[in-house]
A = this chain, B = another copy of it.
Amino acid sequence: MTDLEQRVQTLAQEAKKASRALALASGEQRNQALRAVGQALRAQEAKILEANTQDLAAARTKGLSEAMVDRLRLDHSRLEAIAVACEDVAKLPDPVGEITEDWTRPNGLRIQKRRVPIGLIAIIFESRPNVTVDAAALCVKSGNGCVLRGGSEALHTNLALAEAFAEGLKKVGLPAKCVTLLPFTDRAAVPALGSLRGIVDLIVPRGGPSLIETVVNSAKVPVIKHDAGICHVYVHEKANLAQALPLIINAKCQRPSACNAAETVLVDQSIAATFLPQLGSALAQQHTQIRGCAQTCAILPQAQPATEQDYRTEHLGLILNIKVVAGLAEAVDHIETYGSHHSDAILTSDEAIAQAFLAQVDSACVYWNASTRFTDGGEFGFGAEVGISTDRLHARGPMGIRELTTWKFEITGQGQIRG
């Protein structure tokens, strides 16, 4: 075991031990902690912004783009938003302790299935410092300890935020170590965390493909990943075309960097000649490039030919693939072949066709006459989200605090023995 692995293990063991106290705390105490964290963040504003200034200066020296520097930047109002978000998590209903099933067996045994925290969750992220507080708040709300490993460019800011978090926990008598930020950002900390069977109960990577690969390939503990989305909108021949235009523009252009943004539009052959010119000019207004199949390129002169690779790419920008298909079967086949089973939509007024699409497309979220951009914990009404799971087990699609719980069976008898 390397020195780094030893340090990671020690920190995780301490966090695990602290997490048990959190799991047994009342919902009210966990909410009090979150409100105290909000207060501590405000009280420590000067210190946090000073740490952030340090990170910003280092980022500029390293030559990070202005967009990246801006993502890193905190100021009074951004910090206030982080504090408010933390207090808002306190207002959500408590997922812990809920009895979701309750039955009695013929032999008189009563079995109750009760939601309980998962335990200790490792969260690996790269992005904005607000994720630090956000992720920790959702874990505390659901009674889970966490070990956080943020990006190197935000380390000072994250440490200052974590200090405020610890302050809030201590104020209500909870052990500060149940939220532990790793005070180093070595890449080797990722496999080190993922190898801690019996200590880390779940590892959640949020970030780019290389981070996800590192976690999935090295982890020996369960992973729920928040990976790329290659989402589709299929315009069936019976679609309301006036509705289709703003919907596709929303799905592609509103926030092209989001995982629920559309990458490919599939259009039924019978309406291609009518619809594609309308779509082409709507996309032109949005400065969105088109990569098209041969039929699309024949109709839209501005389209570049799409390669096989384009259909497998999360463009993360204003580029849209367009492909003309013969009908439902070819559309489903394309989505199943090239998609990422994230979010896919059909636009049609034909209910039978819509139901067939919803059944046949094997994705976490399947839409009938709505934008794929709704795949989001907030939009689903979950109050907050850990992310959008691209896995199939335990959490699939938007992942809220309920998916940060597991269950136990509590069985009450009167001395029953098994026959």
Contacts and interface: CB of A to CB of B under 8 A. Distances in A.
A417 B373 contact: yes
Contacts of A216: 197, 220
Contact of A105 (B197, B381, B414): B381
Contacts of A409: 364-366, 375, 380, 397-398
A411 B370 contact: yes
A105 B366 contact: no
A417 B248 CA distance: 9
A380 B111 contact: yes
Interface string A104-131: 0100010100001011000000000000
Contact of A217 (B23, B116, B220, B398): B220
Interface stretch (A82-90, A317-325, A354-362): A354-362
A153 interface: no
Given A220-B217, A370-B412, A393-B394, A246 B417 contact: yes
A9 interface: no
A243 interface: yes
A21 B133 CA distance: 45
Contact of A394 (B111, B371, B394, B417): B394
A264 to B, nearest CB: 18
Contacts of A336: 20
Contact of A392 (B119, B247, B411): B119
Given A250-B417, A362-B20, A103 B381 contact: yes
Interface residues of A, number: 68
A415 interface: yes
A224 B393 CA distance: 10
A330 to B, nearest CB: 16
Nearest to A371: B417
A342 to B, nearest CB: 11
Contacts of A62: none
A129 B369 CA distance: 49
Interface string A268-286: 0000000000000000000
Interface in A347-398: 354, 358-360, 362-371, 373-376, 379-381, 391-394, 396-398
Interface in A240-290: 240, 243, 246-247, 250-251, 254
B24 A360 contact: yes
Contact of A370 (B364, B367, B369, B415): B415
A119 B391 CA distance: 12
Contact of A363 (B363, B394, B408): B408
A413 interface: yes
A237 interface: no
A365 B408 contact: yes
A111 B398 CA distance: 12
A338 interface: no
Contacts of A217: 220
Nearest to A119: B392
Nearest to A239: B415
Given A417-B250, A417-B373, A222 B391 contact: yes
A374 to B, nearest CB: 6
Interface in A306-346: 336
Contacts of A406: 392-393, 396
A119 B341 CA distance: 12
Interface of A: 20, 23-24, 103, 105, 109, 111, 116, 118-119, 197, 201-202, 216-217, 220, 222-224, 240, 243, 246-247, 250-251, 254, 336, 354, 358-360, 362-371, 373-376, 379-381, 391-394, 396-398, 406-418
